[in-house]
Chains A and B, each alone.
Chain A
Amino acid sequence: MDAPSLASSPGAGRSLHRFANPGQFLRLSGAVLPWLSLSAIVLLAIGLVWGLFYAPADWQQGDAVRIMYVHVPAAWLASSGYLGLAICSVLSLVWRHPLADLAAVEIGPVGAGFTALCLATGSLWGKPMWGAWWVWDARLTSVLVLFFLYLGHIALVRAFDDPTRGYRAGAILALIGVVNLPIIKFSVDWWNTLHQPASISLTGAPTMALSMLWPLMVCAIGYTLAFAAIVIARTRAAVMERRIRALLMARAASDTEREGSAG
Chain B
Amino acid sequence: MTHLPFIAASYALAVVVPAWFAVDALRRTAAARRRLAAIDPRRSRANRNRDNKS
Contacts and interface: CB of A to CB of B under 8 A. Distances in A.
Given A63-B2, A64-B2, A247-B39, A125 B17 contact: no
B13 A233 contact: no
Contact of B6 (A128, A223, A229, A236): A128
A71 B29 contact: no
Given A63-B2, A128-B3, A251-B39, A234 B14 contact: no
Contacts, number: 97
B46 interface: no
A124 B22 contact: no
A66 B14 CA distance: 12
Contact of B10 (A114, A121, A223): A121
B6 A124 contact: yes
Contact of A230 (B9, B13, B25, B39): B25
Interface string A54-70: 00010000111011001
A117 interface: yes
A49 to B, nearest CB: 10
Interface string A230-263: 1001101100110110011001000000000000
A80 B41 CA distance: 40
Interface in B5-46: 6-7, 9-11, 13-15, 17-18, 20-22, 24-26, 28-29, 32-33, 35-36, 39-41
Interface in A174-189: none
A73 B7 CA distance: 15
A52 interface: yes
Given A244-B32, A251-B39, A125 B21 contact: no
A247 B3 contact: no
A127 interface: yes
A231 B27 CA distance: 14
B52 to A, nearest CB: 23
Interface in A108-148: 109-110, 113-114, 116-117, 120-121, 124-125, 127-128
A85 interface: no
A74 B33 CA distance: 31
A244 B40 CA distance: 8
5 contacts: A37-B22, A124-B10, A227-B18, A234-B25, A236-B29
Given A117-B14, A226-B22, 13 more contacts: A44-B18, A48-B14, A62-B3, A63-B2, A63-B4, A63-B7, A117-B13, A233-B26, A236-B29, A240-B33, A240-B36, A241-B32, A244-B39
Interface of B: 1-4, 6-7, 9-11, 13-15, 17-18, 20-22, 24-26, 28-29, 32-33, 35-36, 39-41
Interface of A: 37, 44, 48, 52, 57, 62-64, 66-67, 70-71, 74, 109-110, 113-114, 116-117, 120-121, 124-125, 127-128, 223, 226-227, 229-230, 233-234, 236-237, 240-241, 243-244, 247-248, 251
